[in-house]
Every structure is written in C-alpha cells, then in structure tokens.
Amino acid sequence: MTTALAIINRAYDLIGYKDPDEPLTGSDSQSGLDALNSMIDAWQGMPLYVYAVEYLVQTVSGDPITIGTGGALNTERPVSITNGGFVRAGGIDYGFTMIDREAWASISLKSLNTPWPSFCYYEPALPLGNLYFYPQMVDMELHLPLPKRVSQFDDLQTDYTLEKGYRIALEYSLAEELAPGKTTVEPIIVRKAAQYRKAIQRSEIPLLNGEAGLLSTPYAGYSKALFNSGWMS
C-alpha cells in the first residue's frame, strides 16, 4: 500500500530537492499533490490510467455469480479480475486461481461440490459479468480483488493498493513534473519514467480491450497447469 505523500516524497528525493531524511514542508506536500493529480488527469487523455485494487467482501453462492449494477455482487462491472481472491471459511482463507475461457471449457465436471473453490473463470458479459467457480460456491464469504481507476488522490494520507508497476511509474513521472523551476532533471530519470509508463500501458491493454467489448484472456497459460494437475480433461 502507498499514499500520495509517499509518492511525492520519493519524487522530490529523485530530483535531489531535499535530503531523504528531511520531511516535506506543508506547501511542498500540497504543491506535490496538485502536480500529481494534474499529471493523472493529463494521462487519462493519452489514454493511460492509474489502477488500484479494492476488495469486495460478500457472502455468496450460485453458478454463475453475477457481478455488476443489480447483480448478486452489486458493484460496477469489472472488465477483468486479477488473481489474489480468496474465500473465508471457519476463519481460514482459501485462495483460488483465475483461469481463462479455454481452461474453463476444458473442465469436464463443473457441478462438483467441495468445501471451497480452487479456480474461477470471469466472463465480462454485458450488462452483468459472470463468475464461474470450480468447484461451485455455496454460501461462502468471498473476498474479490477488483481494479478501480484512480482519477485523483483525494488527500496526502489515504492508503491505496496500486496495481504492480504503478507506484514507481508515478514516482519517476512526478519527478519530471516537479523538477522545472527547482532543479535540472537527470536524463536517467527521464528514461526510467518513460520506461515505467510504457510498461503500465502494456499492462492495461487487456483492460482497455475489455472496455471496447472484446473478450480478453489475461489468465492464459493455466490450461496446461490444470490439465497436468488432473482438474481438466
């Protein structure tokens, strides 16, 4: 987890504006927050978005479990779902793995019931997405990680669980934004900022494809593992 203040502090350190052990002044923190939010706003026109992870917690059962406004999981319909989900039973957490459509289709006996699921396939249909668990969910407490766009950081102290790669991209890119008028930004900062932005743009392709109505398969590669483990034929 990280905060806007941590990102801003690191950006100032990268340009050598202050000693790493020196706390930021209130005015520098606020101007850093303004610059960070302006940068995020500009990114959205590229398009380049910032994603954080929020956990949806709810007791559910059924096959499939619908997700979206008015669904069994009544929230904004996600275009994809990352790994990291789990179910909680008897105070114990049991993780499950997200799989792709090919892996799901290859499971021959989908009606199997066991105490908790091992795999989940997400179909981002419209207007409601469908979650298919294997084995099926029966009145279990689901903890589901959902990607949420961050359009701005509301304050300096709120914690955000950013998707992988976003924090360092924000730190180096913000360093570029803060440098003018304070110091000369080093070429290595510019190169790394561009490199990290390019990396997160590549990672967003499945999300943007999903928003365009395409079926993305970010979990490809699990079919072979499932076959080898005996879960599919």
Distance in angstroms (rounded) separating the CA atoms of residues 226 and 231: 5
* CA 198 from centre of chain: 17
120 phi/psi in degrees, rounded to 5:
-145, 135
Output the pLDDT for position 205: 58
Poorest-pLDDT segment among 5-19, 49-63, 107-121, 190-204: 107-121
Residue 61: band (very low, low, confident or very high) from pLDDT cuts 50, 70, 90: confident
DSSP 51-111: EEEEEEEEEEEESSEEESTTSSB-SPPPS---S--EEEETTEEEE-EEE-HHHHHT-S-TT
For the record, the structure tokens of 53 come out as 């992870």
For 96-131, the pLDDT digits (tens) are 999 999 999 998 888 777 778 999 999 999 999 999
Residue 140: band (very low, low, confident or very high) from pLDDT cuts 50, 70, 90: confident
Output the pLDDT for position 223: 46
pLDDT at 230 over 90: no
* Residue 98 neighbours by CB under 8 Å, 6+ apart: 81, 82, 83, 85, 119, 120, 121, 122, 218, 219, 222
Burial grade of 140 (CB within 10 A; 0-12, 13-18, 19 or more) = buried
Closest Cα partner for 3 from 196, 179, 115, 162? 162
For the record, the structure tokens of 118 come out as 């091992």
Strands (E) in the chain, as ranges, are 51-62, 65-67, 86-89, 92-95, 97-99, 119-123, 129-134, 137-149
Q: What angle do CA 73, 74, 75 make, to 5 degrees?
A: 105
pTM of the model: 0.71
Distance in angstroms (rounded) separating the CA atoms of residues 69 and 38: 30
- The gap between the terminal CA atoms of the chain, to the nearest Å, is 40
> What does the pLDDT average to over 155-180?
95
